[in-house]
Amino acid sequence: MLKTIIIEDEKTARQSLINVLLNMDVNVTVVAQLSSVRESVEYFLTAPEADLIFCDVQLEDGLSFEIFSNVEIRTPVIFITGYDQFVMNAFEYNGIDYLLKPVSEHELQKAISKYKKLEKHFSNQPSISNLVQYVNTRKKTRLIVKKGLENISLRLEDIVLFFTENKIVYVVDKWGKKYLVDKNLGELEEDLDDSIFFRANRQYIININYIKGFKSYEKVKLQVDLAITELNYCIIISQETAPAFRKWMHEA
């Protein structure tokens, strides 16, 4: 029996989801129906978790991501929403899939099949929490950045560097376009694949695929030369960081 929890503030949407789930798989049971961030936090603080959570992103009292920020939840989540701008956030909070409303039976079936495949893969592990740990430790392939009022899903492979200036963090892509990102360099460093991205100094994180080379600078430091010469950024590696940078470059 697959025990599920549904977090959805629209009664009609919640009942529709329940009907589809029960129609497509008799082994699915809904153990809890929640409608807000506050109610969900209170529930997870006192109640046992289920096998799988179906969760709307935008609830009546805020984004559902707040639930997972306030309570440690090991259960994998399938996020359901009418908007696609939250897709990258979803995978930071136990998300194993992201479905757009209205959700069809076919899409739900695929999402549950994905869950079962992941569960089977980790069936020899001590607990299902390994599945969530796997999801949460995967490195990102995209990043949501901002250009004016627009939210853009930018491929990490197209990002040349990140830099901070006046406490604002910018992203520069291979075409020289500059965007804003709502994370500091420390947070980005945790998310990024360290075989590809390197924290050069307090100001820069650089992508190895856009490094032409490096040379000595003031005898004990290094200066990085970018492969895209139009990007005129002076990236200096300190004496203390230089050995780690050389090792990173040689092992790439």
Structure tokens at 157: 């492979």
Residue tagged 């909070």 (tokens): 93
> Which of 37-51, 93-107, 126-140 has the weakest average pLDDT?
126-140
Residue 130 has pLDDT above 70, yes or no: no
Alpha-carbon gap, residue 99 to 108, rounded angstroms = 8
Lowest mean pLDDT among 128-132, 147-151, 168-172, 221-225: 128-132
Strand ranges in 28-129 using DSSP code E only, listed in sequence order: 28-34, 52-56, 58-59, 62-63, 77-81, 95-100
Give the integer Cα–Cα distance in Å for 117 and 206: 36
Q: Pick from 78, 20, 35, 71: which is nearest to 54 by CA?
A: 78
Q: Is pLDDT of 162 > 90?
A: yes
Tell me how far apart the terminal alpha carbons of the chain are, to the nearest angstrom. 46
Residue ranges per structural domain of the chain: 2-137, 153-250
Bridging pattern class, strands 221-226 and 211-217? antiparallel
Model's pTM, two decimal places? Answer: 0.50
- Hey, what are 178's tokens? 């500059």
CA distances from 81 to 85, 99, 174, 211, 245 (A): 10, 7, 32, 39, 42
CATH number, span 2-137: 3.40.50.2300
- Six-digit token string for 245: 């940078």
User: Which of helix, strand or coil describes residue 16?
Assistant: helix
The pLDDT tens digits of the residues spanning 35-76 come to 999 999 999 888 777 889 999 988 988 888 888 888 888 888
- 211 membership: H or E segment, kind and range: strand 211-217
CATH of 153-250, one of 2.40.50.40, 2.40.50.140, 3.50.80.10, 3.40.50.300: 2.40.50.40
| C-beta separation of 164 from 112 below 8 A | no
Residues contacting residue 202 through CB under 8 Å, at least 6 positions apart? 164, 185
Residue 103: what pLDDT? 82
